[in-house]
Structure 1
Amino acid sequence: MSFENKMVAIINKEVDIGVAMNAVAHASIAMGGRVGTDALQIAQYKDASDNLWPISAIPYIILRGKSSEIRKAITQAKEQNVQQITFLETMTGGGYIEQMDRTALLPEEPLVYFAAVLFGPWDAVSQITKKLSLYK
């Protein structure tokens, strides 16, 4: 089956797994809220006991890269109007108000990218992420 859109997470390979999972979870929730259930093609899996297990039918590829590579992917996504969500180092520690204040104090250049999620046309997302490795 071919898909019109592709969703990819890029995780900073220098970040501990727990922090990385938190970053991807937050960015994924934000992306889901932005694009909605129809775009994510939420399928209703049903087991023999009639329990429903909703999950996106779209493949979700998890890649890894350095902060600079995530920044480059985000820049390219913006240029190509590909949906993108970023999770920054400033978005950790303390409450979300403190995190927002901390982020507001810094220009873009010194920000450390912990994760990003891209969603958009299959070919565009593939082109942006083609040099990144699978997260293992």
Structure 2
Amino acid sequence: MSVLPDENQKRFIAILSKKMELGRTLNVLGHLSVGLSSQLESSESQYVDYADMDGNVHPSLSHYPFIVLKADNSNKLRKVREEAISRNIKFTDFTSSMIEGGSVEQQQRTKETREVDLEYLGVCIFGGTDTLREFTKKFSLYK
């Protein structure tokens, strides 16, 4: 077994609008997770396989914590996005323009909307724990 870095040095944090129903919330979280994972180099993130006693493998689970928080509104999510950009932190976001229709239609609708008019439904970030806590500590755990 290889030596893994301290699991508390980095983390994933997803911050989701508390105004969505459960099905939409899970859909947004899925899109955010996959999108952010695609941006990360294997040297940045660590994924581990778990093996059970019967020799079955449970593959590719994050070594680093994945924390899910909730936001009261779109503007709070926008601020997280802006903070990630200003600190050069990898992120992805999801807006209401990305809900209906296929991805081509969603891209067009987003392109036709000014950023200030976008309603953010979620933001997902990855980085150093201490840095991320500086601007996410005011959010509550999603329960």
TM value normalised by structure 1 = 0.95
Alignment of 1:41-120 (within 5 A): 41-54=46-59, 55-65=61-71, 66-120=73-127
- Shift in Å at residue 37 of structure 1? 4.0
Secondary structure of 1:109 counterpart = helix
CA distance in 1, matches of 2:47, 2:7: 16
CA RMSD of aligned residues (A): 1.2
- Shift in Å at residue 121 of structure 1? 1.5
Deviations 1:38-86 (A, max 9, x none): 4321111000111111211110000000211111111011111111100
Number of matched residues? 136
Runs of at least 5 residues in structure 2 that lack an aligned partner in the other structure? 1-5
Runs of at least 5 residues in structure 1 that lack an aligned partner in the other structure? none
- Shift in Å at residue 23 of structure 1? 0.7
- Shift in Å at residue 128 of structure 1? 1.5
CA distance in 1, matches of 2:102, 2:13: 27
- Shift in Å at residue 16 of structure 1? 1.1
Counterpart residue identity of residue 118, structure 1:
I
Q: Which residue is equivalent to 2:38?
A: 33
2:7 and 2:63 in contact (8 A); partners too: no
Counterpart residue identity of residue 20, structure 1:
T
CA distance in 2, matches of 1:106, 1:135: 29
